Chains A and B, each alone.
Chain A
Amino acid sequence: EVQLVESGGGLVQPGGSLRLSCAASGFTFSSYWMSWVRQAPGKGLEWVANIKQDGSEKYYVDSVKGRFTISRDNAKNSLYLQMNSLRAEDTAVYYCARVPIDYGSGKTYYMDVWGKGTTVTVSS
């Protein structure tokens, strides 16, 4: 069964740090781009970051650039999100998602598998 399981969320003070993890199983992790997507309470989905299969390319939404770092360990089938200088507006459920590559175009267009998410609360 294809599965993504996030962990590492919790309550952190403004300015603090947190590291999220996503454990992948049931598929060849190293063959897929991966994403982090977040959802603030009562709000819509917001893309956070993407990482290429080998980790050589990383992309971020402007609001987290310089504060968040996406990474992966293909040997451990794991995706990570290091979050520093956290702000109240980073409070959200964070999902990891699998991103298939269209081998015809070499591009990515959608996220086909999502984890259940982990909750991050930034508050004093």
Chain B
Amino acid sequence: SYELTQPPSVSVSPGQTASITCSGDKLGDKYACWYQQKPGQSPVLVIYQDSKRPSGIPERFSGSNSGNTATLTISGTQAMDEADYYCQAWDRDVVFGGGTKLTVL
């Protein structure tokens, strides 16, 4: 079955750029999306179809996808961005990455 791999944790200082990767076999041939989940809350879509932002998502969130890796980039990271982030792709079925805890310190 298809698998997506994310680093368990990423740390970033406020105002700096955070990058979270998601790896999968030929992931660049599929569309990747990203969800943000804060403690006790439902997931929120922040990037879809590799690099598109839903309405209401700040411009500091961006995405890319090429080769075997999709990347979520948060520019000018704010304390409110501290959350778990999950990548997702659609192979034969829906596949989620294991999630990355972003710490802003």
Chain A interface residues (CB < 8 Å from chain B): 35, 37, 44-47, 50, 59, 61-62, 95, 102, 107-112, 114-117
Chain B interface residues (CB < 8 Å from chain A): 1, 31, 33, 35, 37, 42-45, 48-49, 54, 84, 86, 88, 90, 93-99
Contact A114 B90, CB 8 Å, known A45-B35, A47-B95: no
Chain A residues with CB under 8 Å of B90's CB are 107-110
Complex formed: what's the CA distance from A115 to B6 in Å? 25
Please give me the residue from chain A that is nearest to B6 by CB atom. Answer: A44
Contact A114 B93, CB 8 Å, known A44-B86, A44-B98, A109-B33: no
Please give me the residue from chain A that is nearest to B1 by CB atom. Answer: A62
Complex formed: what's the CA distance from A47 to B89 in Å? 11
| Pairwise interchain contact A110-B33, C-beta atoms closer than 8 A | yes
| Pairwise interchain contact B96-A44, C-beta atoms closer than 8 A | yes
Chain A residues with CB under 8 Å of B1's CB are 62
Min CB distance B52 to A, Å, is 9
Please give me the residue from chain B that is nearest to A114 by CB atom. Answer: B42
Q: Can you identify 30 A-B contacts, CB atoms within 8 angstroms?
A: A37-B43, A37-B94, A44-B96, A45-B35, A45-B43, A45-B99, A47-B93, A47-B94, A47-B96, A50-B93, A50-B94, A95-B42, A95-B43, A102-B49, A107-B90, A108-B90, A109-B48, A110-B33, A110-B45, A110-B88, A110-B90, A111-B43, A111-B45, A112-B45, A112-B54, A114-B42, A114-B44, A115-B42, A116-B42, A117-B42
